[in-house]
């Protein structure tokens, strides 16, 4: 099987939009993935009520969404013991499995297992976690998720103080020190996406800004247009 590592995939030049199902109607998840079919990935926030003070959904629900989603799943695992649980999401067919650096005891092993099971391996950092804490392991990952809110809840305000971390990651990619996608998650909307795009993010998660809009497809198009303009 050919695994979808970034080594073999060209890094996309166009910004990617990943609507977060956290702000969707959980009773209509199949329809809600269809509503964002124009996006690149659908972002799935898995929370275990231990790593974060909130509980959302787990592997059986992700397996069900995987069967019906028109676009790939971007699984953000806000869970303890990712070594034990993360590979199951890759085995379910998710495009990405992203674990938190703060929860990992052996991030390289998680990355290896995620890739072996066929997904991109992502590492997420809370707003207060410095990039330097994990620079040595990032060579084993395909994606860096920079949290721009404290993980746990949708609808929070964007923390602009995190942007230097996005800029630094972009520099490391541009200078060839890292090969990965830079994703931002939390408080991304029509006002904040330009700052994040100018700082160098590739993938933009947006929950309330997409599912809170009257027309999610239009909201995605508007976010994409702003990100494209700001990235130039
Ligand atoms: C927060 C989640 C985010 C959240 C984003 O822990 O990781 O994905 O759903 O929601 P908004 O875009 O509303 O901040
Ligand atoms: Zn998320």
Q: d(Cα 25, Cα 11) in Å, to the nearest integer?
A: 32
Mutate to test the pocket of ligand 1, among 32, 39, 41, 45 (most ligand atoms within 8 A of CB): 45
Give me ligand 1 centre to Cα 25, in Å.
14
One-letter-per-residue 3-state SS of 26-94: HHHHHHHHHCCCCCCCEEEEEEECCCCCCECCCHHHHHHHHHHCCCCEEEEEECCCHHHHHHHHHHCCC
Among all residues, which ones are annotated catalytic?
45, 185
**Ligand 1 within 6 A of CB of 98:** no
Give me ligand 1 centre to Cα 152, in Å.
8
Q: What pTM was computed for the model? A: 0.95
Report residues near ion ligand 2: CB below 5 Å.
Answer: 45, 76, 185
**Ligand 1 within 6 A of CB of 79:** no
**Ligand 1 within 6 A of CB of 76:** yes
pLDDT at 10: 44
Ligand that comes closest to the CA of residue 75? 2
Summarize pLDDT for 5-55 with one digit per residue, the tens: 555 454 445 899 999 999 999 999 999 999 999 999 999 999 999 999 999
Atom of ligand 1 nearest to the CA of 210: 12
3-state secondary structure of 211: helix
Q: d(Cα 111, Cα 114) in Å, to the nearest integer?
A: 5
pLDDT at 2: 42
Atom of ligand 1 nearest to the CA of 188: 12
**Ligand 1 within 6 A of CB of 156:** yes
The answer to whether 193 and 223 have CB atoms below 8 angstroms apart is yes
Percent of the chain predicted with pLDDT > 70: 94
**Ligand 1 within 6 A of CB of 45:** yes
The token duo for 116 is 């072996």
Summarize pLDDT for 126-173 with one digit per residue, the tens: 999 999 999 999 999 999 999 999 999 999 999 999 999 999 999 999
- Segment 167-195 shows an average pLDDT of 98
């Amino acid at each position: 099987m050919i695994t979808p590592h970034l080594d073999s995939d060209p890094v996309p030049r166009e910004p990617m939009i990943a609507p977060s199902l956290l702000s969707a109607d959980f009773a209509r998840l199949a329809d809600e993935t269809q509503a964002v079919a124009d996006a690149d990935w659908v972002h799935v926030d898995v929370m275990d009520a231990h790593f974060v003070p909130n509980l959302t959904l787990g592997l059986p629900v992700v397996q069900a969404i995987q069967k019906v989603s028109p676009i790939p799943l971007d699984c953000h695992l806000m869970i303890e013991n990712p070594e034990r649980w993360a590979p199951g999401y890759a085995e379910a067919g998710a495009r990405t499995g992203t674990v938190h650096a703060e929860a990992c005891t052996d991030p390289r092993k998680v990355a290896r297992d995620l890739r072996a099971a066929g997904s991109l391996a992502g590492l997420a950092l809370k707003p207060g976690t410095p990039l330097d804490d994990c620079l040595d392991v990032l060579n084993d990952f395909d994606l860096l998720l920079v949290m721009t809110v404290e993980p746990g809840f949708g609808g929070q305000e964007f923390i602009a103080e995190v942007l230097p971390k996005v800029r630094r990651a972009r520099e490391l990619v541009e200078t060839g020190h890292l090969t990965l996608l830079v994703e931002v998650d939390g408080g991304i909307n029509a006002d904040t996406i330009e700052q994040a795009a100018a700082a160098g993010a590739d993938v933009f998660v947006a929950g309330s800004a997409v599912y809170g809009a009257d027309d999610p497809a239009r909201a995605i198009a508007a976010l994409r247009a702003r990100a494209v303009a700001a990235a130039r």
